[in-house]
Amino acid sequence: MIYIQCTKKLLEELKISVEKVDVTHADPLYCWHANIFVHNKKKCVLVMNNHTRYNFLLYGLKSNNFKNFTNLVIQGIKQNLLADEFDASAVDEYLLRCKESAITTTSERSIISQIKEMVHFCEFFLDDFKEQNEIPDLVKINRNLNTYVMSKLPQIYSVKAMKEVFNKGLSDREFEANKSELKPRKYYQVKITLEHVQPSIYRRLLIPDNIPFTKFHKIIQTAFGWGNQHLYLFDLPDYIIKEKDPYFTFDKEEKHPVSVRIDDFMKVKCSFMYEYDFGDSWRHIIKVEKEVFVEEDPGYPYCLEGERNCPPEDIGGPGGYEYFVSIRNNPENEEYVHMMRWAEEVTGQSNFDPEYFNLKKINRRLKKIKC
């Protein structure tokens, strides 16, 4: 059961009358306060968890949004927990317990004061986007909100507090029982190849299903050995998946990688493109080879095989890398010493070897990416 405790002003916006519910004995992990405010003529709602003070902003709400307010809040909880990389199976378990819901009045003055405190931060972030003449990036705002210290917070950061109590707030017995009934998990076998680079640099991976494109990006970065220092995008048939950036816009519709999951695009024999670093333009062709069902889900991606080292960052794209390799293979070249020292500084690898590939090392790093 989830309780959404609304301020008087928000209840007036919802145009509903509610009975006061005693939530004293309810699990505070399933109780959320909500308060409405207006910024730049846009209606906004800040939602805050009673137990951890984990909070997020709902921005630019219309009349229809308030007609289905409970679902809007639950979807906001889901999207923000996943964006903060909470365990997906635990989030699903939490949401199962939110099937029954009730809208009621507020119960704690301290939470209301903390909501008002965070509203000031929201307005600060929104003003910053307005000054830059940009559309507010809710993903960025909501990530920032939970890294601010507020008065009487259970711990230093609300996102840390939420993560530490989240799984503890679920019944271990029920969670394990539900877990045992789950079907084998689907994994996608994909081959990812760097375009315009010869000899070929590629990785063949097993990717867990039901993950957002933010995590898929992280998997690709780890498998190849990139440093995650630049912007990226996924180019799909109907739209681009990328983080918002006013300096790089495209003709296609854009969607944020936090809000889109990979499953709709992982069709066997299909392919699409991942680009990293719009300056060097490292284009990776992703080809979906098959689906694999795993009985005992390890919960992380796995590299089956691959070839060759990842190019150094900021080398100048495929053309610049080709030039670098030609110098690396010719110690007599006057640029050899300078280029090898530069490559070591950038990659941390002494005597950078284009043929180097360490499968065990890659999988040790991939194992840290919980899916």
Question: Which of these three, 176, 206, 223, is where a domain ends?
Answer: 176
How many distinct structural domains can be found in the chain? 2
| Gap between the Cα atoms of 121 and 57, Å rounded | 11
Give the per-residue pLDDT at 24. 78
Place of tokens 């390890």: 298
Residues of the chain with pLDDT under 50: 171-181
- The CB-side HSE value for 273 (13 A sphere, CA atoms) comes to 13
Same domain, 169 and 24: yes
Q: How far is CA 129 from CA 66, 83, 126, 132, 212, in A?
A: 25, 21, 5, 5, 25
Same domain, 293 and 148: no
- Answer whether 185's CB lies under 8 Å from 297's CB: yes
Q: Say yes or no: 214 and 265 in one domain.
A: yes
Give the residue from 217, 216, 193 showing the smallest Cα distance to 306.
Answer: 193
Residue reference for tokens 């991942």: 274
Q: Centre a 10 Å sphere on the Cβ of residue 246 and count the other Cβ atoms it contains.
A: 9
- Tell me, yes or no, whether 99 and 189 share the same domain: no
Same domain, 84 and 145: yes
Instruction: Retrieve residue 252's tokens.
Output: 């296609």
Do 127 and 227 reside in the same domain of the chain?
no
CB 193 within 8 A of CB 201: yes
pLDDT value for 153: 56
pLDDT digit string, tens, across residues 110-140:
889 889 889 988 998 999 898 888 889 999 9
Strand ordering across the sheet containing 239-242? 253-255, 239-242, 232-235, 271-276, 282-294, 185-194, 202-208, 302-307
Q: What is the model's pLDDT at position 370?
A: 85
Total-model pTM: 0.58
Last-in-domain residue among 128, 151, 176 = 176
- Same domain for 213 and 107: no
149 and 79 in a single domain? The answer is yes
Please, which residues have CB within 8 angstroms of residue 343's CB and are 6 or more apart in sequence? 312, 324, 328, 349, 352
Residue 339 forms part of a structural domain: no
User: 335 in a domain, yes or no?
Assistant: no
128: in domain: yes
Distance CA 78, CA 95 (A): 8
Query: 284 lies in a domain?
Result: yes
Torsion-angle region of residue 253: left (phi > 0), alpha (psi -120 to 50) or beta? beta
**Domain match, 206 and 167 both:** no
Only one residue has tokens 């900021």, namely: 314
What pLDDT is recorded for position 307?
97
Predicted confidence at residue 170, as pLDDT, reads: 59
Rounded to whole angstroms, the Cα distance separating 185 from 178 reads 14
> Distance between CA atoms of 112 and 115, rounded to whole angstroms?
5
Q: Which domain holds residue 23?
A: 2-176
CATH of the domain at 59: 3.30.420
Q: Do both 132 and 230 map to the same domain?
A: no
The pLDDT of residue 167: 67
Q: What is the pLDDT of residues 28-47, one digit of tens each?
A: 899 999 999 999 999 999 99
336 domain-assigned: no
Instruction: Note whether residue 140 is domain-resident.
Output: yes
In a domain, 371, yes or no: no
Q: What is the distance between the alpha carbons of residues 337 and 286, in angstroms, rounded to a whole number?
A: 36
Residue 236 sits in a domain of what CATH number? 3.10.290.30
Span between the terminal Cα atoms of the chain, in Å: 26
141 and 223 together in one domain: no
165 and 269 housed in the same domain: no
- The residue out of 150, 176, 202 marking a domain boundary is 176
Residue 292 belongs to some domain of the structure = yes
